[in-house]
Structure 1
């Protein structure tokens, strides 16, 4: 299904003015459309992107600077094959874990993925928490700006609620084998955690615990492990705050076409019956409406007022963000 016509070399119309001067005018074509899902870690970006990709002819481009690396699937919280629901993901677990994948690298690889997706008449959905990658692509890449039009969906959750969820998620990751997974890549001869996948939250925090093996007693090691897990939780919450601050700055600076979707009630009801219905009502359903309107310019959809939990105007967006960060 063709969403929009890709830009290409076209014959240019000639307009004849007085004195026989022919001037070639540019042929303007409609830009291809891209959906971008942003939000702090743990807010449900991947879930929403997959939901949308099952409702539109779409594929997902990962924009998380840690999930782009191979390995540490639990530690980096990559979506599982089951969670993908058959949706093709690009730039997920493809990079050598020992190299640095820069913003320029992301732009180059993402551009190739976008060309491939659009060339197959599908919609690219860019999703991930690394806002520096998204900034580099959307604002600093001239070719991208010329070729694509974006719709931004910002999934937001009240920070106290999100911090509680993040803590629970870390506990579940530990139950799934986080510690053993990180131990398999631990190198006692390396103490630099500034390169590649070693930057992932969960790797440097466990360093002291791994180095204590055979040196201290079991009781001390248990305390070290407890402290490491607590540090993973703290650092993940710090990351969420920083990501939220970056989103605020990006909106303020570039005035993106951004729709803030408040998913707080969904997280408050997690584990309860009807939680999935709440997700559909407050997040997936409204997002589907917004994306449908963006992709197809359906005037009938444009007349439908967005739900109360979606803030779309600059006048109301900034105060809501400020409240959410307290």
Structure 2
């Protein structure tokens, strides 16, 4: 029987053991690893972004790690285009592609045909004044409303990044963003979110861990980062990229590039203390606060990742989802039995085209408040707020805050 290599995707919350499993599978199947982490594409901050160590990277070739300078921008479209070239090359060389990461937008962009191709320059474009990035978000939204009212209806007026993206698509492709998305959804196998599956033989391995155990591991992980030199890493990075801006009274921007990374902005108050204050009681207290804040946001991020996986993969009613197999990582003493061996057996069954002894997780449709590109915006004139999507809108109408304001007005 001819071998057919699947596309292997390892999903799981931060700290669940994705790197460990990816290395085991790469070693077993002579595969290569493609990072799907939006922070690991940047150079620097190796500890806080939990990159595979140099020793771990020597086990198997890793792609899309350390490819950008900290200040550079990198869109999900750019990631997708880079990753697809690597996947195609690996399959041609009969190498197993293993996608690993916690940035689900990146993973979705590979699994489904959901994003518009890079705009071409051979079409007539609207005047460039519509692409003034310095304009306030509301002004840009008004322009979009004139040029592509359907897309404007789907976007919150404060979502400047997506508004600009729609204007750029219109400017560079000469066609409304909403129209392109509608055409994409009309393809066979497509859904409300976008186009059909890109890889019919993809398989997803989802690492599951009991919440209390994962929270404890994440706290310990932060402590280990401190032991491994996190403060030194942050201090050097701050000195190289942030210190001069602060001296010039510029506000540090934690919304772009690797500066968005969880763990950098949380230490801002400590990093900006004068050196002679860091070893004082005040400095120690500030550092303790930063460490606790990092633990808190890390736990929240893990919860958000798990929720996203449920909503966008197991909870979807309207699109084809690759089989997803749950692997319980709660008991590390049973890793081989509960994680490594089942994962190997699942992948081997895909390669051989044989029946798999493990059952995929059942689909569990859920009502999600995660907006998609078909959602309408709703304006509440009572609360003077805008909501995207029916779920968020209904939740707001039933909220105590809305009811109290409504009663007050009456």
Superposition TM-score tier, normalisation by shorter sequence? 0.7 to 0.9
- Are the counterparts in 2 of residues 37 and 152 from structure 1 also a CA contact under 8 Å? yes
Query: Partner of 1:165 in structure 2?
Result: 217
Counterpart Cα distance in 2 of 1:219 and 1:246: 41
C-alpha separation in 2, matches of 1:125 and 1:249: 23
Helix, strand or coil: the match of 1:55?
helix
CA RMSD of aligned residues (A): 2.2
Q: What are structure 1's unaligned runs of at least 5 residues?
A: 5-31, 267-274, 320-326
Which residue of structure 2 aligns with residue 245 of structure 1?
307
In the TM superposition, what is the alpha-carbon distance from 1:118 to its structure 2 partner? 1.3
Residues 67, 92 of structure 1: 8 Å contact kept: yes
Partners of 1:109 and 1:230 in 2: CA distance: 36
Counterparts of 1:1-326 in structure 2, within 5 Å, are 3-4=3-4, 33-139=6-112, 140=114, 145-146=197-198, 148-186=200-238, 187-188=242-243, 189=245, 190-214=251-275, 216=277, 218-251=280-313, 252-253=315-316, 254=319, 255-266=321-332, 275=333, 278-299=334-355, 302=356, 304=357, 306=358, 312-314=360-362
**Secondary structure at the residue paired with 2:46?**
coil
Deviation at 1:149, TM superposition (A): 2.3
- Offset at 1:298? 2.7
Q: Contact conserved, 2:111 with 2:198, CA < 8 A, in 1?
A: no
Question: Is the contact between residue 58 and residue 122 of structure 1 (CA under 8 Å) also seen in structure 2?
Answer: yes
Aligned residue in 1 for 2:171: none
Distance across 2 between alignment mates of 1:281 and 1:88:
26
Output the TM-score relative to the length of structure 1. Answer: 0.78
Is the contact between residue 167 and residue 233 of structure 1 (CA under 8 Å) also seen in structure 2? yes
Cα displacement (A) at 1:55:
0.8
What's the CA shift for 1:76? 0.8
Is residue 46–residue 127 contact of structure 1 (8 Å, CA) maintained in 2? yes
**TM-score w.r.t. length of structure 2:** 0.63
Alpha-carbon separation, structure 1, partners of 2:95 and 2:52:
21
Q: Deviation per CA, 1:137-169: give whole Å up to 9, x if none.
A: 212258994455210000011111101000001
Q: Is the 8 A contact 2:44 2:237 kept in 1?
A: no
Change (3 A) 1:210 1:231: same
